[in-house]
Structure 1
Amino acid sequence: MKREHYSHINLLNELKFAPKDWHNYLRMNEETYLKLLSMVTPLIKKQDTVMRKAVSPHERLTATLRFLATERSYEDLKFTTIISPQALGVIIPDTCEAIYKVLRKDYFKFPQTEDERKNIAKHFENRWNFPHCLGAIDGKHIDIIPPSGSGSYFYNYKGRHSMVLLVTVDARYQIIMCSFGVNGMISD
């Protein structure tokens, strides 16, 4: 009930006047954010009930982007979002799935042919002086709340429970392959 007064949405309204701070907060500019919001809203919008007002798509997306940008726990995010950790545990995965669904058609274009892969190698050689390189790879542990009964299956070397996000990019930092879902006990 206090979300309208204390939520991070009020901070975002102030950050509109400081574009660098907006970008630092959500890791994207306002124009990109609004475009992404309009794309995911049909998938993440929920109906209000007689019991309570639904968490808006704006709040859902910003909470998810803050989680992805900062790796803060749900327990920590509850203070800035004024959303319970249990609700964040549902909202963030749902919003991530919605983002993936709307972006995979037009933005995730993986190389399918030999010519496309040769073109990537040519860009790496021209721009970075790495001949025959088809991508730069990096992995990141994304902290999770482990499913009950999973034991140490998701426990990583950093002393937390996580899943691994592995991404390959081309010479222009465009994602050409990504994989998410390997348990955290497997290293990057």
Structure 2
Amino acid sequence: MDTLELLTTRRSTKTLTAPAPDELQWDTILQAATQVPDHGHLTPWRFVVIHSAAGMARFQQILHDTAVQSPFGEEVVAKAERVGKMGPNVAAVIYSPKAGKPEWEQNLSAGCAAYALQLAAKAQGFDSVWISGMWVHSPLLRQAFACTDKEKIIGLMMVGTSPVVIDQAKNTDTAQFAEFW
């Protein structure tokens, strides 16, 4: 797969199964994620990769506990179960700003790291989806990931293999959001 094909065919996939990346593939994915624009070489991000059965069970329990503690009822508990089983692996991307430097640049760098992680997974034949919402604000998940007061979980990247091929074009009419001078 060439670079343009990679960039134009990546799609979010909410149903993921095994296989998922092994440790060597995760190392490659994380190496790619750390090559993003990073003004001042601040590395304003870090990752927590959940790939073991025990780690996934702990993650699923934290999502369940988050849902139970929320004011939103049983519907959210069911959603927590779906999210927890959405993929065989999860990589949390945590925005970790450095003091005294422009936070907006650091936040963008962390977002680029999350996207690069998805692209690197796709380049190795895996699929992914970026999950946010109430889960990334969970005090229980923040505690489990040892987040400081300044850190934010910007996304949970579910990674695995889609059981179906997604060949649907997306955003092909660039005229609606591009202007040429």
Shorter-chain-normalised TM-score: which range? under 0.3
The structure, 1 or 2, with the larger RCO (C-alpha pairs under 8 Å, 6+ apart) is 2
TM-score, normalised by the number of residues in structure 1: 0.22
TM-score, normalised by the number of residues in structure 2: 0.22
